[in-house]
Amino acid sequence: MMCSKALCDPPFDRYRDLFTGSILQRSQHEGRQVVEEHELPVIDLRSLRSENEEERVACVSEIVRASSDWGFFQVLNHGVSNEHLGQMSREQKRLFELPFEMKASAKLLNGSYRWGTPTAKSLDQFSWSEAFHVPLAKISDPACCSLEFGSLSDAMERLAGTMSELARMLAGVLAENLGSPEDQFSKSCSKSTCFLRLNHYPPCPFSPETFGLMPHTDSDFLTILHQDQVGGLQLRKDSKWIAVKPNPDALIVNIGDLFQAWSNDVYKSVQHKVKTNTKMERYSVAYFLCPSNESTIGSCREPSIYKKFTFGEFRRQVEEDVKRGGYKVGLPRFLL
């Protein structure tokens, strides 16, 4: 069932005073910041599967360098088919065109719908977006997707499967580089612990300075992202924000907090955000390689920069910090 945009979009209007007041205050004290657009490092993974050892070693070096210097990179010939990506994009748009009340229903996709930031007290704490954050184990559950959404479930299952293979391959490369087995994370990161997140960023009528997704780092090992060509993704590089130029042929990979802690800061989990567009909506889908809550994250080498912690402890600390101050603190909470 489709609906008018007014009925489909989340009720952002209830935050109108927050936005207009914060934007006015920003414009008086900060002014508009100029953010340059850059293309992330692009790595052709065909070389990773090559029988030529020199080509494979060179590709591994590119992955390691990008993970250490940028924390973000793009991959070509990644093994995720255009057919799967196209199917997911069509189903995703159909999903977000549903009435708000239906999207917010606990019966749809395991009650994983979320929008905005209910605890926001200022513009810097608000995300102008809506999303479904779905555990992979729930995608094929009949209680998660009714017959009406069978094609959506199929699209998510296919995409999650191929993105999972890609994430594990890259995680294996990065683990081997630091002297650990290729399957270092295979047991702790399974279908029951990883997630797929479907994102929608409606046009924002207030200001292009509004966050579609507020600045953050990812609480996982690796994230695989497919985005449309609207743009809006920005990351922190050399103490300044840069805009990521969309590449229609590539998927984006970024290092998460857990990989930074495990690697003892060899690989970098970089702060990133999404800025809104006043006229165009934006879609993206992300795969998160996560361990179980009981999994212990310890450094692969000594002396360690971080104390050991379980993923559950990390998530609880993040939730507590966001609830108390409006922002994620993340890894600095676990420094020795």
334 with 261: CB under 8 angstroms?
A: yes
Read off the pLDDT of residues 280-311 as tens digits, 9 standing for 90 and up.
999 999 999 999 999 999 999 999 999 999 99
| Residue spans of beta strands (DSSP E) within 188-229 | 195-201, 211-216, 222-227
Per-residue pLDDT of the chain (336 residues; tens, 9 = 90+): 445 454 567 777 666 665 655 544 544 444 456 789 999 999 999 999 999 999 999 999 999 999 999 999 999 999 999 999 999 999 999 999 999 988 988 677 888 999 988 777 777 788 999 999 999 998 877 767 665 778 999 999 999 999 999 999 999 999 999 999 999 998 899 888 999 999 999 998 877 778 999 999 999 999 999 999 999 999 999 999 999 999 999 999 999 999 999 999 999 999 999 999 999 999 999 999 999 999 999 999 999 999 999 999 999 999 999 989 888 999 999 999
Q: Is 31 helix (H, G, I), strand (E, B) or coil?
A: coil
Amino acid letter at 21? Answer: G
Token pair 């103490």 in the structure block, residue? 239
11 with 128: CB under 8 angstroms?
A: no
Q: Is 25 helix (H, G, I), strand (E, B) or coil?
A: helix
- 300-331 residues labelled b (16+ CB within 10 A) or e (exposed): eeeebebeebebebbeebbeeebeeebebebb
Read off the pLDDT of residues 152-209 as tens digits, 9 standing for 90 and up.
999 999 999 999 999 999 999 999 999 999 999 988 998 889 999 999 999 988 777 7
Q: Which two tokens stand for residue 172?
A: 């294996």
52 with 66: CB under 8 angstroms?
A: no
Nearest of 310, 117, 306, 311 to residue 218 by alpha carbon: 311
One DSSP character per residue, 273-320 reads EEE--SS--EEEEEEEE---TT-EE--SSSS-SB--EEHHHHHHHHHH
